[in-house]
Structure 1
Amino acid sequence: MITNPKKATFITSVTLISISIIGYLITCAPTALIPSAFGILMLLCYYFYDKNNKLFAHIILALLILVFIALFTPLNKRIDAADVWGIFRVGMMQLVSLYSIICFISSFIEARKK
């Protein structure tokens, strides 16, 4: 289990970018690219993470929470449409985002203990 927030950020950003591009290619809906924009922002923060890890950790966590909450609307639409692959795509993005949120919160708790 990866509990390093920096690695979790990379995995999440790549997942968001790739799955949202796949979703765009399948549905041709431009709104499918919104998670990709968040993934690109997280990828930029990933590269600057070592320069000021506290600042970028908080920025990434805010982006992750925003993406996690924002993905509930497309998930509900995919459930209503009974689109199994759409549910899988959006659910996968939410699961990966939730995992990264947990990694960041656990690292914040560990840093607070030290």
Structure 2
Amino acid sequence: MKPHIATIILSVILIAMSAWGYFGSATPSTTALLPMGWGVMLALCSIGVKKENKIVAHIAVVLVVILALALFMPLKGSFGRGDYVAFTRVSIMQLALFGTLAIYIRSFVQARRNK
């Protein structure tokens, strides 16, 4: 899979899971909308990634890594509370983030080999 397509898919997943977390809650918190903002930023980065802009691609990777690290505490918290719907939601985002990160790494390695 090409990195820009993985970025778009990740953006859709982040936006959808964030909306589900916010609108599906009886007491919604605005922090549930944070992944949506990251998804929008990544969607904007996908344009530069498609054009093989190295700077934009590296920015996208940094965003993915930061968000993957930032979601560990909500994952741990949702499991600790026994909120398995939230745990599933955050797990889906984590899996998508790590999958996209693997695609980026593979792309960077391939670009290095082609030099």
1:7 aligns with 2:5: yes
Q: Within 5 Å, which residues of 2 pair with 1:20-31?
A: 20-27=18-25, 28-31=28-31
User: What RMSD, in angstroms, separates the aligned Cα atoms of the two structures?
Assistant: 1.1
How is 1:1-114 mapped onto 2 (pairs within 5 angstroms)? 3-27=1-25, 28-51=28-51, 53-114=53-114
Which AA in structure 2 matches 1:74? P
Question: Judging changes above 3 Å, is the alpha-carbon distance between structure 1 residues 4 and 51 closer, same or farther for their aligned structure 2 residues?
Answer: closer
User: 1:51 Cα shift?
Assistant: 4.4
- Mapped to 2, the partners of 1:53 and 1:42 lie a distance apart of 14
In structure 2, distance between residues paired with 1:48 and 1:66: 19
Question: TM-score w.r.t. structure 2 length?
Answer: 0.92
Deviation at 1:52, TM superposition (A): 5.2
Q: Which runs of 5+ in 1 are unaligned?
A: none
The offset of 1:53, in angstroms, is: 1.9
Structure 2's unaligned 5+ residue stretches are none
Q: Determine the C-alpha separation between the residues in 2 that align with 1:26 and 1:74.
A: 16
CA distance in 1, matches of 2:91, 2:50: 30
- The secondary structure found in structure 1 opposite 2:24 is helix
Could you tell me the percent identity over the aligned residues?
Answer: 37
- TM-score with structure 1 length normalisation? 0.93
What letter matches 1:56 in structure 2? V
Partner of 2:82, secondary structure, is: coil
